[in-house]
Amino acid sequence: MDYYITAQSRASLWEKHKNRLEEARKAWRERKFWYAFPEDPSQYDSALAQQGEADFKAQLSRPFDRLRQPGKKWVISDEVSPYTQEPLGISYPQADPQEAIELAQKALSIWRWVPWTERLGILMESVERFQRRFFEVAHATLHTTGQAWMMAFQASGPHAADRAVEALAVAYHELDHIPPHVRWEKPTPKEPILIEKHFIPQPEGISLHFGVSTFPVWNTLPGLYASLAVGSPVLLKPHPRAVYPIAIVVAILQELFEEHGLPSTIVQLVVDTLAEPVGKRLAEHPAVRIIDYTGGPEFGAYLESLPNKITFLEKAGVNPVLIESVNDITSVAKNIAFSASLYSGQMCTAPQNVYILRGGVKTAQGQLSYEEVVQALTKAIEELAGHPKAAPAILGALQNSTVAERVQRLSGHGQVRRSATAYKHPQYEQARTLTPLIVEAPSSREDFLRTEHFGPRLIFVPVADGEAALEAIYQLAREKGMLSCSIYTTDSSFKQRAIQKLAEAAVPISFNFHGQAFINQSVAFSDFHGTGGNPAGNASFTDSSFIVKRFRWVQVRDCLKG
């Protein structure tokens, strides 16, 4: 019996990539340092860098004509560069939601029957092809998200590609441990019973993926590749403010599908605008079974409430820092300043509430008062924000103007320790910049402290002692959730208590991050991004759950001797 749809060219791609995928799977299991793509731009051919910049410039103010999907009209997205404050002026084919769903259903009837080996082969090939466009994607990311150059390159290029390979490696792990078929033979007093058994993985249905404006590629690739790996076609609805970076990836996939005799519409870009969103219409369609989403908690809660959907959500949380005791406050302050400033605090892992012991903090150089700790932190922020090279390289720009407005409003909610001011970007005069606001609020201001205030800001919270801080963080985790939690302590028994207390609320803790290690970073093949067990999100990049919830094993038994 051959119910699969096979092709030699796709089988060859599996042969080409399977050793690499095996290596990636091994790395995922061992969780030591490993990467599929180097993060240093200088390790790539300089011709690629030049080409990427040229491609980017050529694309501006022109239709994005690389997609292979229908679209009667072209729509100009809401993309505006946070650096030049000028619209990118790129138009995309506008997909009709109903037509897109019908095309996805047709694609499903083929893609689900392509053997997973061939699927993984073609998907690995797509990541390799994507690599040649890292530089164009970096420019596109910088001018949609406001990320600084190095982050735009790394997060949308090698780090995202690594997460894609990771999703494929986990899919490989999960699809490979059940054999495609087996002869089951049961001895009996007479003749043995002989049954041929087939194990057929089948996707739960069509996937819908919501992109986010801050990390349009990094947050999209895991779910996109996970769904595609298990045979589920994807409707990719990017954030209207950040279409271009992920459109490049979709175009590469569509091109490869076509090259290998498959419908290009296995993945479709569904572009909408802020004025006319189509997300709910797609999400509520009964044919859509799997939903991936990164974004605000309100829309996330709405998606979670839809019946008969399997959701993978990263909503926002409130990320705390606790300074219980330190070796060297200067080094700690620098590290926190960096984490809070990186991409102007617009990372889902950026710290917000900084809990500091009211009675002061033990250090290797003796006890520091609360005020001394506050001053050290404020000074570190000041130095970074005021540094003409560091500020643009680290802070980048604000994705949109509401971020700045929201941060400025915070100053009414506590004692301002540092005002948020713009810094002058050396290259882009019009850049939308803002350096971190620091306010101080008492722990009694629960509503305020249990709300995510997205953007460049830190909120200092004096607390009675370490245990009180752990309790506050525990309650925060239970109620609002968090994607990072940074604790500084030199007391190993406190460390143990923190783990025991907070792991029960599924808090991912980072202890004593300093030097060049930053809590914001979560690396593929070693770090789980999000635990999925607190209100900040119900999924994790990339655990088994992220894959196995997307498909079912369908077993067929053929009785040869009864």
Q: Which of residues 1-20 bind a copy of itself (CB under 8 A)?
A: 1-3
Q: Are 358 and 464 in contact (CB under 8 A)?
A: yes
Q: Which of the ranges 94-102, 183-191, 264-272, 403-411 carries the binding residues for a copy of itself, by CB under 8 A?
A: 183-191
Q: What is the sign, positive or negative, of the torsion defined by CA atoms of 359, 363, 366, 370?
A: negative
Of 454, 429, 344, residue with least CA distance to 85: 429
End-to-end Cα separation, the chain, in angstroms? 20
Using omega within 30 degrees of 0 as the cis cutoff, is the peptide bond preceding 433 cis?
no
- The C-alpha atoms of residue 172 and residue 505 are separated, in whole angstroms, by 30
Binding of a copy of itself by 366 (CB under 8 A)? no
Which residues, 292 to 311, sit near a copy of itself by CB under 8 A? 305, 307
- 178 touching a copy of itself, by CB under 8 A: yes
Count of residues for the chain?
Answer: 562
Query: Interacting stretch for a copy of itself, rule CB under 8 A, among 71-79, 214-222, 354-362, 495-503?
Result: 495-503
Residue 285: how many other CB atoms lie within 10 Å:
17
Which of 129, 198, 379, 450 touches a copy of itself (CB under 8 A)? 198
CA distances from 147 to 162, 262, 449, 456, 557 (A): 19, 35, 26, 13, 54
Total site size for a copy of itself, rule CB under 8 A: 76
Residue 13: CB partners within 8 Å, gap ≥ 6?
118, 121, 122, 124, 125, 260
Nearest to 431 by CA among 453, 401, 458, 457: 401
Position 47 contacts a copy of itself (CB under 8 A): no
199 lies in the binding site for a copy of itself (CB under 8 A)? yes
Sole window of 93-101, 125-133, 138-146, 537-545 interacting with a copy of itself (rule: CB under 8 A): 537-545
CB 94 within 8 A of CB 268: no
Would you count residue 274 as binding a copy of itself (CB under 8 A)? no
Smallest distance from the beta carbon of 25 to a copy of itself, in angstroms? 10
Q: Contact with a copy of itself (CB under 8 A): which of 16, 66, 73, 183?
A: 183
Q: Which of residues 117-156 bind a copy of itself (CB under 8 A)?
A: none
499 binds a copy of itself (CB under 8 A): yes
Alpha helices in 218-262 (DSSP H): 221-229, 244-259
Q: Which residue has the tokens 């932190």?
A: 377
The CB-of-526 to a copy of itself minimum distance in angstroms stands at: 5
**Shortest distance, position 154 Cβ to a copy of itself, whole Å:** 14
| Cα 429 to chain centroid, rounded | 30
Contact with a copy of itself (CB under 8 A) among 12, 29, 383, 413: 29
Cβ(245)–Cβ(49) below 8 Å? no
Nearest distance in Å: CB 280, a copy of itself: 19
**Which of 19, 47, 179, 276 is the binder for a copy of itself (CB under 8 A)?**
179
Q: What is the CA radius of gyration of the chain?
A: 25
370 or 511, CB closer to a copy of itself?
511
**Smallest distance from a copy of itself to CB 494, Å:** 11
Stretch that binds a copy of itself, among 8-16, 417-425, 431-439, 489-497 (CB under 8 A): 489-497
Binding flag, residue 32, a copy of itself (CB under 8 A): yes
As a whole number of angstroms, the longest Cα–Cα distance in the chain is 88
Instruction: Decide if residue 330 touches a copy of itself (CB under 8 A).
Output: no
- Quick one: 143 or 173, whose CB is closer to a copy of itself? 173
Give the residue with the Cβ less far from a copy of itself, 43 or 427.
43
Pick the closest to residue 125 from 264, 225, 31, 230 (CA basis).
225
With CA atoms as reference, report the closest residue to 231 among 210, 260, 262: 262
Nearer to a copy of itself, 92 or 172 (CB): 172
Does 413 contact a copy of itself by CB under 8 A? no
Q: Give the footprint of a copy of itself on residues 61-120 (CB under 8 A).
A: 109, 112-113
